[in-house]
Copies of this chain bind each other. A is one copy, B any other.
Amino acid sequence: MTNLIFHQLFEKETFTYTYLLADSSTKEAVLIDPVLETVDRDFKLISELDLNLKYVLETHVHADHITGSGELRKITGAKIGLSGIYQSDCSDMALSDGDEIKFGEFLIQAIATPGHTAGCMCYKLDNMIFTGDALLIRGCGRTDFQGGSSDKLFQSVREKLFSFEDDYFIYPAHDYKGFTHSTIEMEKRFNPRLNLEVTKNQFVQIMSELKLDLPKKIHEAVPANMKCGAPATEASVPIISAKMVHEDLSSFKIVDVRRADEFNNELGHISGAQLATLGPELEVALNSLSKQDKIVFVCRSGKRSEEATKMAIQNGFEHVFNLEGGMLHWNEMGL
């Protein structure tokens, strides 16, 4: 008989849980949400258990820490799985809702749960659900960047996660109070934000009133994690995919930094975009925008808008992104 080998591993600086799952007979293993700082620990454990790491799965592109997925792929040859929504060009599997990941006799099911970010994915194995930041123990992830949406998170948790059996176990990506797991029933009853008594409007209001500081490492972590944890270069700035912007268009201010003639040429522009050509015109525009605005900068291919994003960060803007691939990528979506 084969057994599931299961290890919950804790990273103490960012309170992150990494999960190691393996088939005791075939030795095939999956690691969920590894952290760069604990790659050595995780790899040592994998070696001691004599496992063959087949997949590294990310519940989402993390903003608070850098993933260990790229490092582990280098050492073990594992394949990296991440939601296709992020359009990350470094992952090996662009996962969609319902996708299945097999290791030995075990089967993991991917469950799209957008809301904390647009590409959040939970992973279900038998009666265990690895919920990432979608559902935390007595809490949930914030919804104010990376295509986050309180509306969508409410729907993901209440319609998708809460549809599983009451005694299913919840294993989150973080816990800050020392809990290691919960159950669907306990969260239905005692989650202060998402218990069954809370309405969607109440939830949206709760989330809008959080006023959290940005994660300290976001401007380093997000671009690095889009590249599976590759160290961010000096020039790198937060990027966002066309798909993520499109999914949540109403929550962004779109600033197009091309010339006026390009704005109206054959590539067109994103509906509602404000034109502010890179240079003095953009500087003036930045003065009229709030530092709290969620801004996506756009150009033709993503190069000038990278400059614009950098300039905004230097001017103290906190929620700014460069549209990856610019209008070229945007138009490829065929909208």
**Chain B residues with CB below 8 A from A48, complex form:** 186, 189-190
Within 8 A of B (CB), among A1-58: 7-12, 38, 41, 45, 48-49
Mask, A242-269, CB within 8 Å of B = 1, is 0000000000000000000000000000
Mask, A174-191, CB within 8 Å of B = 1, is 010111110000100110
Cross-chain contact B178 with A9 (CB below 8 angstroms) = yes
A49 and B304 CA atoms in complex are apart in Å by 56
A283 and B177 CA atoms in complex are apart in Å by 48
Contact of A178 among B41, B181, B186 (CB under 8 A): B41
Cross-chain contact A8 with B180 (CB below 8 angstroms) = yes
Closest chain B residue, CB of each to CB of A190 = B48
Cross-chain contact A7 with B189 (CB below 8 angstroms) = no
**Chain B residues with CB below 8 A from A180, complex form:** 7-10, 180
Nearest Cβ on chain B to A167's Cβ, whole angstroms:
8
Given that A48-B186, A48-B189, A48-B190 are known contacts, is A7 also in contact with B41, CB under 8 Å in the complex? no
**Chain B residues with CB below 8 A from A41, complex form:** 177-178
**Chain B residues with CB below 8 A from A181, complex form:** 7
Contact of A11 among B45, B49, B178, B186 (CB under 8 A): B178
**Chain B residues with CB below 8 A from A190, complex form:** 48
**Chain B residues with CB below 8 A from A178, complex form:** 9-12, 38, 41
A48 and B189 CA atoms in complex are apart in Å by 9
Closest chain B residue, CB of each to CB of A186 = B48
Residues of A within 8 A of B (CB): 7-12, 38, 41, 45, 48-49, 175, 177-181, 186, 189-190
> Would you list 20 pairs from A and B whose C-beta atoms are within 8 A, ordered by A residue?
A7-B179, A7-B180, A7-B181, A8-B180, A9-B178, A9-B179, A9-B180, A10-B10, A10-B175, A10-B179, A11-B178, A12-B12, A12-B178, A41-B178, A45-B179, A48-B186, A48-B189, A48-B190, A49-B186, A180-B180
